[in-house]
Amino acid sequence: MLQAVKSANPGSGDEPWVGRSIERVEDAALLSGHGRFIDDLGVQPGTLHATILRSPHAHADVLSIDVEAAKRLPGVAAILIGSDVKAVTTSLVVGVKAPVECWPIAMDRVRYVGEPVAVIVASDRARAEDAAELVNVEYRPRAAVVDPLGTLSPGAPLLHDGFPGNLASDRHFSYGDPEKAFADAPHRFSIDIKYPRSSCTPIETYGVVASHDAGEDAFEVLANFQGPFSIHTVIARALKVPGNRLRLRTPPDSGGSFGVKQGVFPYIVLIAAAARVTGRPVKWIEDRLEHLTASVSATNRATTLAAAVATDGKILALDWDQVEDCGAHLRAPEPATLYRMHGNLTGAYDIRHVKIRNRVVVTNKTPTGLNRGFGGPQVYFALERLVQRIAIVLGLDPLDVIKRNLIDAGAFPYRTATGALLDSGDYQEAITRAVEQGRLAELRAKRDEVQARGGLYGIGFTAVVEPSVSNMGYITTVLTAAERRKAGPKNGAQATATVGLDPVGSVTVHVASVPQGQGHRTVLSQVVADVFGLQPKDIRVNTEIDTAKDAWSIASGNYASRFAAAVAGTAKVAAERVAGRLARIAASQLNVEAADIVFARGFVSSKHNPENRIAFSRVAALSHWSPGSLPDDAVQTIRETVFWTPPELTPPDEDDRINSSLCHGFIFDFCGVEIDRTTLETRIDRYVTMHDCGTILHPGMVDGQIRGGFAQALGAALYEEYAYAEDGSFLTGTFADYLLPTTTEVPEPEIIHMETPSPFTPLGAKGVGEGNCMSTPVCIANAVADALGVADVTLPLVPARLAEMVRRAEPPPPAGGAAAAPVREGDRRLRGEGQASVQGAPEQVWAMLLDPDTLQSVIPGCQRVDRITDTHFRADVTLGIGPVSGRYRADVELFDLDPPRAVTVRGGATGALGFGKAEGRITLAPDGSGGTKLTYSYDAAIGGKVASIGGRLLDGATRVIIGQFFTALARKAGGGSATGGGFSLFAVLTKLVSLFGGRR
Amino acid sequence: MTRLKADARHSVRLTLNGKPVQSEAEPRMLLSDFLRHQIGATGTHVGCEHGVCGACTIVVDGMLTRSCLTLAAQVDGCEIQTVEGLAPSADRLGVLQQAFRRNHALQCGFCTAGILMSLDHYLARNPAPTEAEIRDLLSGHLCRCTGYTPIIQAALEAAAQLASSKKETSDA
Ligand code: FES
Ligand code: FES
């Protein structure tokens, strides 16, 4: 069913523009290919292009980096390794007090797959990539750890000396009297959650163009960064310049962000450093493999949540134990994901006693950062799964347990136990409406019917408070009260807006909201048009930011759903301020009181006598042309900049209570899912989502935010996971491996609205962009748990995982089947065997296998072969598998030679794309008709970039390449001449080593 | 077949949205990069460079093509259509584009060019598609912003509008 909101552009005049779904001003350019995204903009002539060489290892010491060959390549301007970057920058600040550094490039050690190791700068991208392949890095691998609980165990490999036991922070909190509540309660429930890693993956990747003016020691950077601009201070500090020498600009368009483009900032530092070293502008556009592997990710989290519960299902107290996995470095603004929800750990419920232990740990995975939902999905998954469990065990209806615990409608503004001030709402009414309009009764009947015929059908519920407009001080809750006193208070959320009138009286608006596709320009034109009695098309809005010229502050940017609530409201305040002055000017011209002035239909007129009027543009232009004729009490109307910060956003108090966000929307979701008994695929039958996001400024865009968030959340629930092998290899490096939902998977959610304005924002609006990312994953999980009748479900709910739950683990496949098969899940070793027939007697074939020249001509992609000793060889091989092609250096040794019958080959290969190790045994036997039968078996393991592209590609490619090898060998043998010489069986090995494997 | 030298630039001539264009490309240059950086037709976007996201979709000699999986040298002499050629004039949008705007079928607009090209090509050949057919067609495109439904709605609306305007012309 489709329920898209239509645009309406009635021009009748007097009803406000705010609240209408007008067409977006952004769209004409975007629809005709004239968007201006970062890679669409030209660069200064002579701009260099960078590519980044990244670690294939999850954890290793960097023993040496040889850049000589790469530097000699024509077009290469510079190659920066850790020490070069260190020479011109300082470490990025770390969000907790610990003796730890955080660099945007590896210094002597890599700690995650994809960590930058060298920046190669050349005249164009292709030449930079050519050079990257020639950089030789020698690593000494260390043991890696990827699990947040595993990293805390005593023997775990240590990532940073400054984080003993891999623990970056450990805080205990207590609100009310949780001990007593637990002691007195009749029931105690507890749930263990492992929330996986995923990312909202915008379709446009990161981009940075940086230059450095050595004369003034000032940087100019263009990046599709999205804020928060508190990060500007981090970048400037890292580049060792004061803030006024870092001019940071954003392009007019950005291809989605969802928080993710906050994570471009370490690359801003890297590319700016490269610009400084080369003295030329440098541009870098990230590719998709880099983005998935190493840009940024939401945190994965291990949570144990316990509740003290009365017999009627009333929750009396909560006990949270959260272990937050921030990856290999604690990068700003982390550990913000953990603390963003601190005021909201009781969700939509009236729970007065809360105990919390928050631990932040590091593991050998990509560092984390902003991601739509930011901390919400992790919290609500635990809380709402627990609510369902309480209901099931107590024999209650989950919806009744939700209702029993809701905050009373008369209690707003309501202060939660942990400090949030919930601004407004009527949760009971919202649920009543949703149940009725969403036809819950029908779903219940459907469930009974499907279950009666033996099908799997379940219903899930979620109630969620959606925080928006972050308090810039919430992150300081990670510090103790004493540490906070020392550091000085942090709080508030400065929003800025500028309204300007030009000499012909037309209106320009500028805000520092850095939209990434949300249509801010359209909404602002509506808001300001209403104030001035104009039409949206009369207002030109600019949302690009230039920190050298524009009004901005640390809270600027596009995150925490702050636009509608904070930025649009600030624009209204700025416009009203200008309008107030214009009214005084008009009043003096029209000879009326200022209170009698109205702005409507392009005129400023007297309310009492509408004929007594003057064109808006005339009044608006007066400050330019005739400042002398302004009345004494009216100052200029040329430009007004307003800074607005809500007084409710105070710093954490002495007892660690924090109002982490300004606004709190309410969401109530329920859904029915059917699971196919054979394929265990989960199909959403109906998804109902009720939103109260305060006053709605543009219904079409609000629904757009809800739908978009829902689709991403559906992906997180059913398909998406940034998967790592136990050794830290990253396994989902392409869109063929990291599966996003498409048109065939995403149903239309039924969206229901209710509007309870926020008393704290100028327009009554609250944020709406992130809610479904918080509510939907757990709502679907609750429905799946209901359908399967299981107590524990882990995301993503892929069929294989559901199969394990309902059918237990699959038996291993029968032996002797596939030529190459994974041994077990999570084990990336690849074992296999095969056979080939070659003309010529074993002696002849043996000699060929030992001859470097023969082998060089039959090994696919072999460039050269060097014999170190008779049984030790080195080879260069270039191979392409699917989208990834690269050069490998193989080092091979031979053992157990039994000429002409058998040999064992062992070796390793490394390249920019990954590394591999393998061992194989090859036997030769006469086939009875003058030819030779070759039998081979191998055991290989790979890691690095090749591991993160599709395993299926590797399997297929492996077989093809082996086939090519033996075909070429047979052809050569058929040609007859075989000369004796050294051994070069490493041919087979090289392939085994450099390619085999990958499938987990 | 002509052999191209790997390290030399070769002239590539083609027809882009009805106009002849020409530039130079190394044999390894992708068509997407050629269009964007050599020709300056930046409306075609690149989201993955491995053929999955569909952002780079264009029409080459009447066939829907992933320009990130095509080499510039391959299209020498071909007819190419891109998003820049969809609007009837610089200040007016076509029927499909208007339907996208009306239905809020785009947010950031980064995926949009590829989706428009697929739909434009499909609707010309299938004037009365069902919702399921549109969903099937567009399953080769990733959009992270919209949740897809408004795109489907816009496509169906555009199809209906195109069909009725065609009927009017043939009735007349
Ligand atoms: S860029 Fe071509 S399909 Fe993604
Ligand atoms: S509109 Fe942003 S990816 Fe589709």
Examine residue B38 and state whether it is found in any structural domain, yes or no.
Answer: yes
Q: Which residues of B touch A288 (CB under 8 A)?
A: 47-50, 53
How far is residue A527's CA from residue A495's CA, in Å, rounded to a whole number?
Answer: 16
CA–CA distances in Å: residue A708 to residues A37, A493, A772: 21, 26, 9
Claim to verify: residue B104 and residue B81 sit in the same structural domain: no
When divided into structural domains, chain B yields a total of 2
Map tokens 């068509």 to a residue: B31
**Side chain identity at A397, as an amino acid letter?**
D
pLDDT at A991 over 70: no
Q: For the domain that residue B154 is a member of, what is the CATH number?
A: 1.10.150.120
Task: State pLDDT tens for residues A415-424.
Answer: 999 999 999 9
Mutate to test the interface with B, among A20, A24, A25, A31 (most CBs of B within 10 A): A31
Claim to verify: residue B79 and residue B110 sit in the same structural domain: no
Interface contact B104-A517, CB threshold 8 A: no
Local structure of A797: helix, strand or coil: coil
- From the DSSP assignment, how many helices (H) and strands (E) are in chain A? 25, 36
B109 lines ligand 2 (CB under 6 A): yes
Claim to verify: residue B80 and residue B144 sit in the same structural domain: no
pLDDT at A970 over 80: no
Q: What is the pLDDT of residue A993?
A: 45
Q: What tokens does A10 get?
A: 């009635």
pTM: 0.90
Interface contact B50-A202, CB threshold 8 A: no
Interface contact A883-B49, CB threshold 8 A: yes
Claim to verify: residue B75 and residue B124 sit in the same structural domain: no
Among A308, A390, A389, A401, CA closest to A355: A308
pLDDT at A647 over 60: yes
Claim to verify: residue B14 and residue B73 sit in the same structural domain: yes
Q: What is the pLDDT of residue A936?
A: 79
Domain that holds residue B17: 10-85
Q: What is the pLDDT of residue A996?
A: 35
Query: Would you call B133 exposed, middle or buried from its count of C-beta atoms within 10 A (0-12, 13-18, 19+)?
Result: middle
Claim to verify: residue B129 and residue B63 sit in the same structural domain: no
Q: What is the pLDDT of residue A653?
A: 96
Residues in chain B with pLDDT values less than 50: 172
Q: Which residues of A touch B36 (CB under 8 A)?
A: 39-40
Examine residue B46 and state whether it is found in any structural domain, yes or no.
Answer: yes
Task: State pLDDT tens for residues A860-908.
Answer: 677 778 788 878 878 887 766 555 567 777 777 888 888 888 888 777 7
Task: State pLDDT tens for residues A362-389.
Answer: 999 999 999 999 999 999 999 999 999 9
Sequence-ordered list of residues with C-beta below 8 angstroms from that of A279, at least 6 positions apart, any chain: A212, A214
Task: State pLDDT tens for residues A94-106.
Answer: 988 899 999 999 9
pLDDT at A982 over 60: no
Claim to verify: residue B103 and residue B153 sit in the same structural domain: yes
Claim to verify: residue B58 and residue B104 sit in the same structural domain: no
Claim to verify: residue B78 and residue B135 sit in the same structural domain: no
DSSP string, A747-761: PPPEEEEE----TTS
Among A499, A430, A405, CA closest to A771: A430
Query: Would you call A974 exposed, middle or buried from its count of C-beta atoms within 10 A (0-12, 13-18, 19+)?
Result: exposed
Pocket of ligand 1 (CB under 6 A): B 46-49, 51-56, 66, 68
% of chain A exceeding 70 in pLDDT: 90
Task: State pLDDT tens for residues A123-162.
Answer: 999 999 999 999 999 999 999 999 999 999 999 999 999 9
How far is residue A34's CA from residue B112's CA, in Å, rounded to a whole number?
Answer: 12
Q: How confident is the model at residue A816 (pLDDT cuts 50, 70, 90)?
A: very low
What count of other Cβ atoms lies within 10 Å of the Cβ of residue A959? Answer: 16
Q: How confident is the model at residue A3 (pLDDT cuts 50, 70, 90)?
A: very low
> What does DSSP say about strands A218-223 and A246-249: parallel, antiparallel, or unpaired?
parallel
Using the Cβ of A761 and the Cβ atoms of chain B, whether some distance falls under 8 Å is answered with: no
Q: What part of A 921-980 touches B (C-beta under 8 Å)? A: none
Examine residue B123 and state whether it is found in any structural domain, yes or no.
Answer: yes
pLDDT at A961 over 90: no
Q: What tokens does B81 get?
A: 């259509």
Q: What is the pLDDT of residue A276?
A: 98
Q: For the domain that residue B30 is a member of, what is the CATH number?
A: 3.10.20.30
Chain A residue at shortest CA distance from B90: A32
> What does DSSP say about strands A884-898 and A872-881: parallel, antiparallel, or unpaired?
antiparallel
Pocket test residue of B30, B46, B82 for ligand 1, highest count of atoms within 8 A of CB: B46
Q: Which residues of B touch A40 (CB under 8 A)?
A: 36, 42
Judged by its nearest atom, the ligand closest to the C-alpha of residue B146 is: 2
Task: State pLDDT tens for residues A782-798.
Answer: 999 999 999 999 999 99
Task: State pLDDT tens for residues A532-572.
Answer: 999 999 999 999 999 999 999 999 999 889 999 999 999 99
Task: State pLDDT tens for residues A210-258.
Answer: 999 999 999 999 999 999 999 999 999 999 999 999 999 999 999 999 9
Local structure of A474: helix, strand or coil: helix
**Side chain identity at A543, as an amino acid letter?**
T
Interface contact A32-B83, CB threshold 8 A: yes
Among A613, A631, A633, CA closest to A622: A631
Q: What is the pLDDT of residue A977?
A: 32
Q: How confident is the model at residue A826 (pLDDT cuts 50, 70, 90)?
A: very low
pLDDT at A824 over 60: no
pLDDT at A945 over 70: no
Task: State pLDDT tens for residues A717-753.
Answer: 999 999 999 999 999 999 999 999 999 999 999 999 9
Q: Which residues of B touch A24 (CB under 8 A)?
A: 101, 104
Chain B residue at shortest CA distance from A43: B37
Interface contact B148-A743, CB threshold 8 A: yes
Contact A733, A725 (CB under 8 A): no
Minimal Cβ distance to B102: which of A7, A255, A746: A7
Claim to verify: residue B55 and residue B123 sit in the same structural domain: no
Q: Which residues of A touch B103 (CB under 8 A)?
A: 4, 6-7
Consecutive H or E run containing A489: none
Examine residue B90 and state whether it is found in any structural domain, yes or no.
Answer: no
Interface contact B113-A517, CB threshold 8 A: no
Task: State pLDDT tens for residues A186-222.
Answer: 999 999 999 999 999 999 999 999 999 999 999 999 9
What count of other Cβ atoms lies within 10 Å of the Cβ of residue A825? Answer: 12
Q: What part of A 709-748 touches B (C-beta under 8 Å)? A: 709-712, 734-736, 740, 742-744, 746, 748
Examine residue B5 and state whether it is found in any structural domain, yes or no.
Answer: no
Mean pLDDT across chain A? 90
Among A516, A967, A587, A980, CA closest to A769: A516
Last residue of a domain, one of B47, B64, B85: B85
For ligand 2, atom 4, the nearest C-alpha belongs to B143
Q: Which domains does chain A have, with CATH numbers?
A: 48-142+206-285 (3.90.1170.50), 150-198+297-476+650-804 (3.30.365.10), 494-544+551-644 (3.30.365.10), 827-996 (3.30.530.20)
Last residue of a domain, one of B64, B85, B106: B85
Task: State pLDDT tens for residues A761-776.
Answer: 999 999 999 999 999 9
Q: What is the pLDDT of residue A5?
A: 39
Length of chain A: 1000
Q: Compute CA A858 distance to the chain's CA centroid, rounded to the nearest angstrom.
A: 44
Last residue of a domain, one of B30, B57, B85: B85
Interface contact B48-A258, CB threshold 8 A: no
Claim to verify: residue B67 and residue B113 sit in the same structural domain: no
Q: What tokens does A401 get?
A: 């347990």
Examine residue B4 and state whether it is found in any structural domain, yes or no.
Answer: no
Claim to verify: residue B104 and residue B149 sit in the same structural domain: yes
The number of C-beta contacts closer than 8 angstroms across A and B is: 197
**Side chain identity at A131, as an amino acid letter?**
A
Map tokens 């954490």 to a residue: A652
Q: How confident is the model at residue A817 (pLDDT cuts 50, 70, 90)?
A: very low
Q: What is the pLDDT of residue A741?
A: 98
Q: Which residues of A touch B153 (CB under 8 A)?
A: 2, 4
For ligand 1, atom 3, the nearest C-alpha belongs to B51
* ipTM for this model: 0.97
pLDDT at A509 over 60: yes
Minimal Cβ distance to A288: which of B50, B109, B148: B50
Interface contact B112-A202, CB threshold 8 A: no
Length of chain B: 172
Q: Compute CA A975 distance to the chain's CA centroid, rounded to the nearest angstrom.
A: 57
